[in-house]
């Protein structure tokens, strides 16, 4: 603990020296001034805990010195010393903030007692202030944890969850630096930039290729511990994202779920910012909170994807097809956009399974899905409709264009898959009220293609039917 610092302001040089020697011998850090002006100057230069003020000073009166001390340094205690005491002067000194009032010649033991009591009062005030600050920090951290928890519970969507988390962290105002950073998600043995906050002073793209042990992020991946770097220009571990960028400090916090690192919270700070153990512990707690939320969000995404995805081919399943077709059908009705569907069925698939076995039949379905995806536009969708049937949804496609696509698909399958397919095409018409009509028309066209000998395209819609045989379309 630092020694108690005392300033003596007295115009009597002998008394000033004697008092300074006694207090120094008692272990106090003592300074002395001959008048109020010199004393106030010293007080401005040094942090002082207690001032002993002679009431009868030359120049600036002692009572004015007291007043200025308490105005500029309210936590500094003051003891008034005087040889010409009156009740009024004692009351005035007390009203202006003096800790005590001693008459000259004063008893040294009495003076030391008053100094000790002033020191005890100051220490008690410092303890109270420290406890109050500690309590405020604790409350701020609890509120920050609550705010982060609330932000994490507002959504299960991963992208929104990450951006909301960063915004919440920035708004907590408990960090001893300006928050600027990002969240990365671990994918295999590398990290992917997922969300950013703050001015883009640091280039983040190179961090997406960092592996365990490389740079700061890689070290966190490898160790699962918070990493602190005070200056990117001076830290040899800070090898990737500091290249050519602005010098900065760096905090990388692991986002953990079940003791596994699932992501990184990367915070950019001013250079040489001190981060204490308490803050590191708080950041680790935040990291665990975010990590669990990230893992839950990823599990949700996987569950949602699996519920809408055919596990064999990876295409959207029938449920997903219903959702997407409804959206496109409503858009076609409202805005007059073109919409066509193609039902595609493998010819003699049962015979193929009986001949080659079901595992080979599964491989054929996967192969067909790959061909269909390759031949379609990025804006179009391919779904596994059921069994060996596939449904293709073409947005902004008129009947002629849809028939041409179906014929191209038929030819590609015949040349690459070793089997043939039959296809039925139907296009939206403004008289249609439900999407099921579109599917029924495509199904009826597919049935006609089967009945007409297979390996062909039949097209129809809105009651108008046209046919394309295997050689009928260019």
Cite the active site residues: 388
Cis peptide before 105 (omega within 30 of 0): yes
211-213-218-224 Cα dihedral, nearest 10 degrees: 120
CB 180 within 8 A of CB 267: yes
CB 155 within 8 A of CB 164: yes
In the DSSP assignment, the letter for residue 133 is: H
d(CA 438, CA 429): 9
Task: Tokens 């990025």: give the residue.
Answer: 378
Cβ neighbour number for residue 445 with a 10 Å cutoff: 26
> What strand order describes the sheet that includes 249-257?
190-197, 181-187, 260-269, 249-257, 227-229
CB 241 within 8 A of CB 219: no
d(CA 24, CA 3): 10
Task: Tokens 């929104």: give the residue.
Answer: 160
* Beta-bridge partner residues of 172: none
Q: Which helix (H) or strand (E) holds 223?
A: helix 215-223
Length of the chain: 474
* Beta-bridge partner residues of 269: 249
d(CA 24, CA 29): 6
CB under 8 Å to 254, separation ≥6 — which residues?
A: 220, 221, 224, 225, 226, 261, 263, 264, 265, 284, 287, 291
């Amino acid at each position: 603990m630092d020694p108690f610092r005392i300033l003596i302001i007295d115009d009597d040089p002998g008394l000033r020296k004697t008092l300074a020697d006694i207090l120094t011998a008692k272990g106090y850090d003592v300074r002395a001034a001959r008048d109020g002006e010199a004393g106030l100057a010293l007080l401005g230069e040094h942090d002082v805990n207690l001032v002993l003020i002679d009431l009868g000073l030359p120049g600036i009166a002692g009572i004015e010195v007291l007043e200025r001390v308490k105005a500029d340094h309210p936590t500094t205690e003051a003891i008034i010393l005087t040889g010409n005491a009156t009740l009024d002067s004692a009351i005035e000194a007390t009203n202006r903030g003096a800790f005590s009032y001693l008459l000259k010649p004063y008893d040294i033991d009495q003076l030391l007692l008053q100094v000790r009591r002033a020191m005890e009062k100051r220490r008690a005030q410092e303890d109270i202030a420290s406890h109050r600050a500690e309590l405020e920090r604790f409350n701020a951290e609890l509120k920050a944890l609550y705010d982060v928890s609330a932000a994490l519970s507002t959504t299960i969507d991963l992208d929104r969850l990450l951006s909301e988390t960063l915004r919440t962290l920035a708004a907590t105002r408990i960090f001893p630096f300006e928050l600027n950073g990002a969240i990365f998600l671990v994918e295999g043995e590398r990290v992917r930039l997922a969300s950013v906050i703050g001015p883009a002073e640091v280039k983040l793209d190179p961090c997406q290729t960092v592996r365990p042990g490389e740079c700061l992020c890689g070290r966190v991946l490898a160790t699962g511990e918070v990493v602190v770097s005070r200056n990117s220009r001076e830290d040899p571990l800070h090898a990737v994202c500091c290249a050519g960028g602005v010098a900065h400090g760096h905090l990388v916090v692991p986002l953990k779920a079940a003791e596994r690192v699932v992501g990184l919270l990367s915070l950019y700070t001013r250079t040489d910012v001190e981060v204490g153990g308490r803050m590191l512990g708080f950041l680790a707690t935040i990291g665990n909170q975010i990590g669990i939320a990230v893992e839950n969000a990823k599990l949700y995404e996987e569950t949602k994807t699996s519920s809408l995805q055919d596990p064999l081919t990876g295409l959207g399943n029938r449920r997903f097809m219903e959702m997407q077709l409804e959206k496109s059908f409503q858009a076609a009705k409202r805005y007059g956009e073109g919409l066509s569907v193609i039902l595609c069925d493998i010819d003699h698939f049962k015979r193929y399974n009986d001949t080659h076995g079901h595992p080979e039949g599964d491989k054929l379905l996967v192969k067909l899905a790959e061909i269909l995806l390759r031949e379609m536009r990025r804006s179009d969708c391919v779904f596994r409709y059921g069994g060996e049937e596939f449904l293709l949804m073409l947005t902004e496609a008129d009947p002629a264009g849809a028939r041409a696509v179906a014929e191209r698909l038929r030819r590609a399958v015949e040349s690459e898959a070793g089997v043939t397919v039959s296809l039925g095409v139907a296009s939206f018409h403004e008289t249609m009220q439900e999407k099921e009509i579109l599917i029924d028309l495509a199904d009826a066209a597919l049935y006609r293609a089967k009945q007409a000998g297979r390996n062909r395209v039949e097209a129809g819609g809105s009651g108008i039917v046209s046919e394309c045989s295997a050689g009928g379309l260019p």
